[in-house]
Each structure stands twice: as structure tokens, then as C-alpha cells.
């Protein structure tokens, strides 16, 4: 096994503010694997890349199975790093990397169990919280307006233009050729691909600001209304603790959002009508005339929900002091509506 390390200064790549917003002061580790195939039953791991947050900068660590026989050593070394963190960040790792490593770890432990001198590799995955970047961002595909959520597609969206001559699949033969011939050129190719993937993961972190906003890390700052000519709209503005990397404008069911830097704006159509409040488990109702905003299945223990008919899909909240004058209620409502638009967007602002 060979371990290659590199420090990337925070002056070059920081993005720690996004991680703090999502995970506080918990210890962060990122990882990505390179394998000789997709099935852990018929292939093995030849490289594990790690990003570790240090005082001086991001430490990129590559655990390289340089002789084709050191898989147990790189998995064991990776588990030692994993044992010293709280949150493990990956890209599609919940579906591929973590199950693959777990399967290979169990296979190795089983094969070597007859050797009395062998110390089994400890599985430390259960001691950390895994966070899959792909799984977290996939619901925003329509809002962002991308054809897919592959890492390279997201990198291009953020203006990261990485030149990568080979895919992971193409590098299998390059790695096997290195093991057979010792070609330093081939060695550099496989290490460079993984190293760039790890740096790319760091550069993707700002887009997780969307996750932070959906999780409610914003602070509402201003309320206003505007007559659009086709109706009245309520405008709720908020400050974000982390800067979004690109301006996002989107809408769903007539509800529009703009996320621009550290500013978020939510635009909600206002309905003036007579709506009904139905009592729980009853056909009894009270009618009320006033100003209402759509709720999109939002429910609150302190805010009554109105509708035209009892089984209507669309429900409404009244524009009252209980909603607009209560910071907790206002933020909870805004958070729900932002989440709906981010996840169900039709990419238009009506």
C-alpha cells in the first residue's frame, strides 16, 4: 500500500461555512473509491480517496493499492480515518461506495479468519452519519435545470471545467496495466483522476447551500405586497448564512422563489375570498372572508387551514398576525414553501 497526501490551502478552496451550516462543529471526512468493477463479488478496490479538514487546509489522502494485493491494507487504513470523524460525505456513496467497501471488508475478514495472527478489520461505518451529496441534491434537479445530477454535470453548472481524459471504467485497464508493467505514466493517470474527483467534491460544496436553506438556516427580514396586474402577491425576503453559488429563479403552483447570493425571496399569490375551516373529523365548518395564501399541504398546530371544500387538494392560510407577526410561524411557513418549490419546480415564475 502507498499513501499519498496533499494539502489544499483554504486560501484556494474553503467552503467550510457551508459545512458548518449543515453539520455544526462535527468532524467531517469525504471519500470516494476506485474499483476494478461494479460488483464486489468479482472485483476489488484499488484506490480510496479522502478529504480531511485540518487546521492548515483540506488534506487529500489517497490510499493506493499499488501492488494489486493491498486491498485489505487500504480498507484498514480508511477505517482508521473513519473512526476519527462524525460525518462521512460522499457522492452516490450510499448506493455504491459504502456497500462496496462493506462487502469487500466482510469478504477479506472471512477469507483471513483462519489465520490466528490476523486482526479483523473493524467496520466503522455504523459509527458515523453518512451524507450523500447526490441524494441530497437530486430533488433539486428541476429547480437547477439540469439533465442529470452527475458530478461532472454539477461541476459544469458551477463553472468548474475539469479536463478528465478517462472515466472510472476506462481506468480499470490503465490500473491493471500499471500493476503488470509498473508504468509510472499509468500510475499518475489513475491517481490524478481520483485526486481531481476529491477536489471536485470540495468545489461542489457551495451548492449544498440549497440544502441549508431548505433546512431553515435563513432568517426572514422583510414582508411586502405587490400588485402584479394579475393579482396581489406576498413577498417574503430572507438572509442566508451561506452564499448560493449561482442565482436560482424558479416556481411551482404559481409560487416563485429567487435565491441570489445571501438573499432569498419568496413570492406567493394572495387570494381574497370566502373559505371554510373544517373541524377535525367532522363535516362541520366555519366560513371566513379574508386574504389567504396557499399552504401546499402545510400544517401547523397554531394556524388554522382553510379550503373551498373539505376534500380539496389545495389548502390555504389566512394572512393574519398569527402568521405574519409570529417569527416562528412565518419562518416555518416560508421553509415549507421553499422546500416545495425547490423539489417540485416547473422552472417558471408566474
Would you tell me how many other CB atoms lie within 10 Å of the CB of residue 211? 19
pLDDT for residue 349: 41
Compute CA 337 distance to the chain's CA centroid, rounded to the nearest angstrom.
Answer: 19
Each residue of 107-154: pLDDT tens digit? 999 999 999 999 999 999 999 999 999 999 999 999 999 999 998 899
Task: Please report the pLDDT score of residue 108 as a whole number.
Answer: 97
**Residue 49 to residue 286: CA distance in whole angstroms:** 62
Domains and CATH numbers, the chain: 2-210 (3.30.420.10), 217-344 (no CATH)
**Are β-strands 57-64 and 2-9 bridged in parallel, bridged antiparallel, or unpaired?**
antiparallel
Whole-number pLDDT of residue 85: 95
Beta bridge partners of 220: 238
pLDDT of residue 347: 42
Q: What is the pLDDT, as a whole number, of residue 350?
A: 37
Low-confidence ranges of the chain (pLDDT < 50): 346-350
| 264-298 confidence digits (pLDDT tens) | 999 999 999 999 999 987 889 999 999 999 999 89
- Give residue 280's pLDDT: 83
pLDDT (0 to 100) of residue 345: 65
Query: pLDDT value at position 47?
Result: 98
CA 56, CA 133: separation in Å to the nearest integer? 24
- CA pair distance 325, 7, nearest whole angstrom: 49
Amino acid at each position: 500500500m502507498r499513501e499519498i497526501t496533499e494539502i489544499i490551502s483554504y486560501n484556494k478552496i474553503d467552503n467550510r461555512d457551508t459545512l458548518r451550516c449543515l453539520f455544526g462543529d462535527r468532524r467531517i471526512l469525504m471519500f470516494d473509491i476506485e474499483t476494478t468493477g461494479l460488483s464486489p463479488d468479482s472485483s476489488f478496490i484499488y484506490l480510496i480517496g479522502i478529504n480531511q479538514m485540518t487546521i492548515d487546509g483540506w488534506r487529500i489522502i489517497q490510499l493506493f493499492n499499488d501492488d494489486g494485493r493491498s486491498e485489505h491494507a487500504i480498507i484498514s487504513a480508511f477505517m482508521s480515518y473513519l473512526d476519527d470523524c462524525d460525518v462521512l460525505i460522499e457522492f452516490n456513496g450510499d448506493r455504491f461506495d459504502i456497500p462496496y467497501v462493506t462487502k469487500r471488508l466482510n469478504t477479506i475478514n472471512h477469507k483471513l479468519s483462519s489465520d490466528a495472527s490476523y486482526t479483523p478489520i473493524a467496520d466503522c461505518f455504523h459509527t458515523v452519519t453518512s451524507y450523500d451529496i447526490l441524494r441530497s441534491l437530486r430533488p433539486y434537479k428541476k429547480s437547477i435545470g439540469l439533465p442529470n445530477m452527475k458530478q461532472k454535470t454539477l461541476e459544469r453548472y458551477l463553472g468548474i471545467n475539469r479536463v478528465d481524459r478517462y472515466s472510472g471504467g476506462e481506468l480499470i485497464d490503465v490500473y491493471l496495466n500499471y500493476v503488470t508493467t509498473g508504468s509510472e505514466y499509468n500510475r499518475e493517470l489513475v491517481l490524478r483522476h481520483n485526486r481531481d474527483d476529491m477536489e471536485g467534491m470540495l468545489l461542489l460544496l457551495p451548492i449544498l447551500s440549497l440544502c441549508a436553506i431548505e433546512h431553515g438556516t435563513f432568517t426572514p427580514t422583510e414582508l411586502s405586497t405587490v400588485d402584479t396586474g394579475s393579482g396581489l402577491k406576498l413577498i417574503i425576503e430572507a438572509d442566508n448564512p451561506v452564499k448560493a453559488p449561482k442565482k436560482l429563479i424558479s416556481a411551482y403552483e404559481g409560487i416563485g422563489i429567487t435565491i441570489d447570493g445571501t438573499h432569498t425571496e419568496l413570492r406567493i399569490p394572495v387570494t381574497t375570498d370566502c373559505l371554510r375551516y373544517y373541524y377535525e373529523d367532522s363535516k362541520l365548518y366555519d366560513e371566513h372572508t379574508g386574504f389567504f395564501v396557499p399552504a401546499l399541504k402545510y400544517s401547523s398546530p397554531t394556524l388554522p387551514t382553510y379550503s373551498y371544500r373539505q376534500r380539496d387538494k389545495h389548502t390555504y392560510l389566512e394572512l393574519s398576525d398569527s402568521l405574519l407577526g409570529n417569527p416562528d410561524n412565518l419562518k416555518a411557513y416560508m421553509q415549507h414553501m421553499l422546500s416545495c418549490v425547490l423539489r417540485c419546480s416547473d422552472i417558471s415564475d408566474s
